[in-house]
Amino acid sequence: MATVDTAKDAAVLAAHAVEEEGVRRRDFIHVATISFAGVGAAAVALPLLGSLSASADVVALSSIEVDISKIEPGQAIKTSWRKQPVFIRNLTPQEVKEASAASLDAMRDPQTLAERTLPGKENWLVTLGVCTHLGCVPLGAAAGEVKGEFGGYFCPCHGSHYDTAGRIMKGPAPTNLAVPEFSFLSDTIIKIG
The smaller minimum CB distance to another protein, of residues 84 and 92, is found at 84
Binding of another protein by 47 (CB under 8 A): yes
Among the residue ranges 24-32, 73-81, 96-104, 124-132, the one whose residues contact another protein (CB under 8 A): 24-32
Is position 158 annotated as part of the catalytic site?
yes
Number of residues that bind another protein (CB under 8 A): 24
The smaller minimum CB distance to another protein, of residues 33 and 188, is found at 33
Kindly state the smallest distance separating residue 148's Cβ from another protein, in Å. Answer: 29
Binding of another protein by 29 (CB under 8 A): yes
Binding mask 68-97 for another protein (x = CB under 8 A): ------------------------------
Q: Which of 16, 30, 133, 158 is catalytic?
A: 158
The smaller minimum CB distance to another protein, of residues 15 and 29, is found at 29
User: Nearest 5 degrees, angle CA 11-CA 14-CA 15?
Assistant: 85
Binding of another protein by 24 (CB under 8 A): no
Binding of another protein by 183 (CB under 8 A): no
The Cα–Cα gap between 172 and 116 comes to 21
Contact 185, 118 (CB under 8 A): no
Binding of another protein by 15 (CB under 8 A): no
The Cα–Cα gap between 183 and 177 comes to 18
The smaller minimum CB distance to another protein, of residues 64 and 139, is found at 64
Which residues here bind another protein, judged by CB under 8 A? 26, 29-30, 32-33, 36-37, 39-40, 43, 47-48, 50-53, 55-58, 60-61, 65, 67
Q: Residues with catalytic annotation?
A: 158
